Amino acid sequence: MWRGLHRRRGQVHPSDVDRLLDTGNPLLCGDSQRAHADPVSGGFPHTFVNDHPPVPARPQKENHTITQSHAPLTHARLFLNQKRFKRLIEDYCGRESVTVASQSQSVISFSAGVLRCPDLERGLDMKTEFLAIAAVAIVLTATASATAFASMQNRHKTSALAYHDTWRKLWEDHVWWTRMVIIGVFDDLGGTGNYTARLIRNYGDMEDALKPFYGDEAEELGDLLQQHLLIAADILVKVKNGQNATSSIAAWYKNADDIVMKMNEMNPKYWKLAEAKKMWKEHLDLTMEEALAHFNKDWAKDVTAFDKVHDLALMMADFFSNGVIKQFPNMFIRNGLVARP
């Protein structure tokens, strides 16, 4: 009979309850009745309400002891073997329902194989009580389904915090490997080629971080970022060799303007033109200051300039990540919830 209820998944008809009650179903217990485990049925108690003839108690198995109730019938308790009880509830309501229920004691409590509904202690008749218990199970099923659905959706979302940290890492890489190239070129280090290759890889990493949101536009911005890095390396080589780097420096600043325009085109609301332009110009100015300080062996100014470069890089990282998160709030989760602009 219980399997009949279980199959309908939340649809409980009065006739189901009639069949449970009229046949003296052993799942229900009344006042001052003693419950005994049935070794044949796998642990379900054989206890009958007062208006049914009692059945002789069967010997208890040592590992099938069922809790005895002295509470009124209106406590609406079902006594079950704990393992079977848990499996039954998981099958009927879904596994998450057990957790939901255990965290909401005012609604329903699961403890040592006992199901209890505190709100039902009002002298209701048995059928009403059983229907109420079924209703609680249906509510728990709906709650668990909603929770599972939200959890499934969130699996396809990105953590806002993780995305923020990704951009911090990308801009850390940007300025630190730029510094390694500056030192390598000016100090004739053997690893300069490796440092430069690692620096150039940074544009691809930034492009990958943007592509899920902007598609082909991310590649266009990535191409501009690649030019930004290549021109910077060219300027360093020309300065090192005593060549005129004026045209390369002009191309570098022109490239920064192109980056700003593309960013604003992709995200006009949160990557505002004036703010982006100011950041990129300052980034180039400070990087040039750092490079010239190192070239001139002004170590104190070199250190001070790089500290400024580093601080600005973290601000630019947040400018990038915050802009994406605010533009696409439904693609991110923040503290388990969808991020909001």
What is each CA distance from 180 to 2, 32, 74, 105, 228, in whole angstroms? 72, 83, 77, 60, 16
Same domain, 69 and 105: yes
Same domain, 169 and 101: no
Query: Which pLDDT score is estimated for 334?
Result: 79
Same domain, 244 and 270: yes
pLDDT surpasses 90 at 121: no
pLDDT surpasses 80 at 213: yes
Domain limits for position 101: 2-154
Across the chain, mean pLDDT equals: 73
Same domain, 108 and 203: no
Tell me, yes or no, if the pTM score tops 0.75.
no
The more confidently predicted of residues 96 and 275 is 275
CB atoms within 10 A of CB 287: 24
Same domain, 84 and 137: yes
Strand partners, 114: 79, 111
Of 62-76, 114-128, 141-155, 166-180, minimum mean pLDDT range: 62-76
pLDDT surpasses 70 at 155: no
293: its two tokens: 């300080």
Give the integer Cα–Cα distance in Å for 238 and 62: 89
The angle, 0 to 180 degrees and rounded to 10, between the axes of the packed helices 246-266 and 273-295 is 150
pLDDT surpasses 80 at 143: no
pLDDT category of residue 326 using cuts at 50, 70 and 90: very high
Same domain, 297 and 315: yes
Residue ranges with strand state E in the chain: 78-79, 109-111, 114-116, 158-159, 332-334, 337-338
Q: How far apart are the first and last CA of the chain?
A: 52
pLDDT surpasses 60 at 174: yes
- The residue out of 116, 131, 154 marking a domain boundary is 154
Strand arrangement of the beta sheet that strand 109-111 belongs to? 78-79, 114-116, 109-111
Same domain, 306 and 199: yes
Domain count for the chain, please give it: 2
Return the SS3 of 52.
Answer: coil
Same domain, 138 and 236: no
Give the integer Cα–Cα distance in Å for 180 and 315: 21
Of all residues in the chain, the percent with pLDDT exceeding 90 is 51
- The residue out of 139, 154, 169 marking a domain boundary is 154
- The residue out of 119, 154, 189 marking a domain boundary is 154
91-100 burial string, b = 16+ CB within 10 Å, else e?
ebbbebbbeb
pLDDT category of residue 158 using cuts at 50, 70 and 90: confident
Query: Which pLDDT score is estimated for 63?
Result: 44
pLDDT category of residue 157 using cuts at 50, 70 and 90: confident
Same domain, 72 and 179: no
What's the gap between Cα 326 and its chain centre?
A: 17
Give tens-digit pLDDT for 56-115.
555 554 444 334 444 433 333 444 444 554 565 555 455 544 444 444 433 334 333 334
Same domain, 134 and 273: no
Given a contact cutoff of 8 angstroms between Cβ atoms, the answer to whether 127 and 21 are in contact is yes
Section 218-236 average pLDDT: 97
CB atoms within 10 A of CB 70: 9
Of 65-79, 112-126, 184-198, 256-270, minimum mean pLDDT range: 65-79
Same domain, 24 and 150: yes
pLDDT surpasses 70 at 214: yes
Rg (CA), the chain: 35
Strand partners, 110: 115
Give φ, ψ of 338 to 5 degrees.
Answer: -65, 135
pLDDT surpasses 60 at 246: yes
Same domain, 195 and 212: yes
Give the integer Cα–Cα distance in Å for 239 and 235: 6
